[in-house]
Amino acid sequence: MTKKQKAMLFRIIATFIVYIPLAVADHMGTLPAGPGIWGRLAVYLVPYVLIGWDIVYKAFRNIKNGQVFDENFLMTVATFGAFGIGEYSEAVAVMLFYQVGELFQSYAVNRSRQSITELMDICPEYANIEEDGQLKQVDPDDVEVGDIIVVKAGERIPLDGRVVFGDSMVDTSALTGESVPRKAGVGDDVISGCVNGSGLLRVQVTKEFDDSTVAKILELVENASSKKAQVENFITRFARYYTPIVVIAAVVLAALPPLMLGQSWAEGIRRACTFLVISCPCALVISVPMSFFSGIGAASRRGVLVKGSNYLEALSQMDTIVFDKTGTLTKGEFKVTEIHLADGGVSGGNAPAGTVPAGNISAGNTGADDLSGETAGLLELAALAESYSDHPISRSIKDAWGSAVDMNRVSDTEEISGHGVKAVIDGHVVLAGNSKLMKEMQVDYKECPSIGTVVYVAQDGVFKGSIVISDTIKEEAYKAIRDLKKVGVRRTVMLTGDKKEVGEAVAARLGLDEVHAELLPDGKVAKVEELLAGLHGKDKLAFVGDGINDAPVLSRADIGIAMGSMGSDAAIEAADIVLMDDDPSKISDVVRISRRTMSIVKQNITFALGVKAIVLLMGAFGMANMWEAVFADVGVSVIAILNAMRALSLK
């Protein structure tokens, strides 16, 4: 409990202690008060002022500021009216139970915020910089890109960077929701906000604090409540018009029957006051935003950041989901998976003759000892030809070779854009590239039917063989597509800039409904536009991507979902939802959370409006007194808030 909540609890208890004996004595006619109604009024004003002074103060302050019609005004007018017609006990009871409801509401809202505000604990207080052999604690804001920071065991990593010394297990649970620590060693990227579990790490900073992962997460959290769902905006507009209407209705109810039907003024005012208490829209105004906030909190505990309740609402209506391929459904790690010799004279395992299959080829595990002489020679020739290139395909070949490349053997290299590489190795002209290069150089080559990127290698115009490089599908991707179908997503689509054969092979393995390949970034935007045009009614489209070239598509989709751990800053900035551990299978979890959150919101709206409508009619016809009014206000609010809190535990 906060300090303010404890103070309110003390006031409530003190009021109960004063009010209960007072009400009992008054009911039994043994109230030791002065003569007449003024004595009773003076006695009841003590508990009323004790519990309600702040509500009355707020009402008059808001009137002064031009904000007349709110719950403080309704409570003040209703209780003043009750005092005016001699209903002293009811006036105190209304204010007392209203404050009980307010305390409960405040406590519940704090509980719902807790799961998100706990993220604020990920903010590092300091960074360790080594100076003259001593560690010095500095503000993370003062650390520059390129500086080396020291992270001791148990400390939170203050900035994004790359490990240059040490090995450790890093706890990422605060960011990703993943309980299993991740291994971090030299060359691995680490992100701010995670906890170094064991061992000392030296990390070279790659981003300033303002651009770091932890800073971006905190910014997302702080701004999440500013983006309201349509239903929230409706409730806000509803309350703006609803409250003045019920005040006018209460005035009519107090004046019209006495003037036209001969009803007593005391009865008219009593009904009007009851009507005002019943009409207070607290249940809607509090429970609906709280339901969304609780849903966002539930998602954050799963390692998914939702930037606003409007996106949670849109996700509940998702009909079509579009995936980028590389880095989203696949790992984005290109590896040599097959080697084919021109003469087909080598076999590996159970693979067809002339092929070394996937699984036999991995970084640091290839070379003359693992591959036959001709196969190793082909891989070495390709690695030498690609030695000066930093293209992902070139890196894959060099990683597969695994040994140091003798650059002195390479006397000349020429990169032919869109085709491949031409190099002079040991005095021989070597070509390494795609089929276009072979055709242009008039090399008689054998087409490789394998799925993936194929690098053909020729020496002095003679075809030597081909190397197949392909991306690997994420294990979670299979579960992601399967679970999305289970939660009712009708259409799953994949967009890729890769070759048609590669895209179709991945789509077939994952069970996707559609695939569109060989797309440039603007082609992806055009395809998403086309898919959006085909949606019906309230159906929404989500796009999931991770690269900087995905930012335009993420912005254009109804819901943009970005990979947060390894995704680009531009993609995270453009997205509406961020998966902190790059696990696409969590999308179905958030869809489930969004739909159940919307169900809770609709339950609260139906329940609150239904009960209020019934009790308002009862109050208007004199069939409800102040106690029913208290239930229609405080009781309904408490029940709606309890229901909203269920969204916190959604999974």
State phi, psi for 131 to the nearest 5 degrees. -130, 125
Amino acid at 156: R
Spatial contact of 193 and 217, defined as CB atoms under 8 Å apart: yes
Which H helix or E strand runs over 189? strand 189-190
SS3 string, 299-351, reads HHHCCEEECCHHHHHHHHCEEEEEEECECCCECCCCEEEEEEECCCCCCCCCC
* Pairwise CA distance, residues 311 & 230, whole Å: 10
Burial of 264 (0-12, 13-18, 19+ CB in 10 A): exposed
498 labelled catalytic: no
Strand, coil or helix: 544: strand
* Pairwise CA distance, residues 633 & 642, whole Å: 14
* Pairwise CA distance, residues 5 & 391, whole Å: 60
Structure tokens at 238: 């509803």
Sheet holding 420-425, edge to edge: 355-356, 335-341, 462-470, 453-459, 428-433, 420-425, 410-416
Give CA torsion, residues 160, 165, 171, 175, to 10 deg: 10
Amino acid at 479: K
Q: How many residues would you count in the chain?
A: 651
* Pairwise CA distance, residues 80 & 70, whole Å: 16
Amino acid at 274: T
Token pair 């595990």 in the structure block, residue: 365
Structure tokens at 583: 């696990």
Q: Which of 160, 171, 319, 324 is catalytic?
A: 324
Amino acid at 465: G
* Pairwise CA distance, residues 202 & 184, whole Å: 11
Provide Rg for the chain, Cα atoms.
35
Spatial contact of 431 and 420, defined as CB atoms under 8 Å apart: yes
* Pairwise CA distance, residues 383 & 1, whole Å: 65
Structure tokens at 581: 């551990």
Nearest to 285 by CA among 242, 221, 226, 222: 242
The residues annotated as belonging to the active site are 324
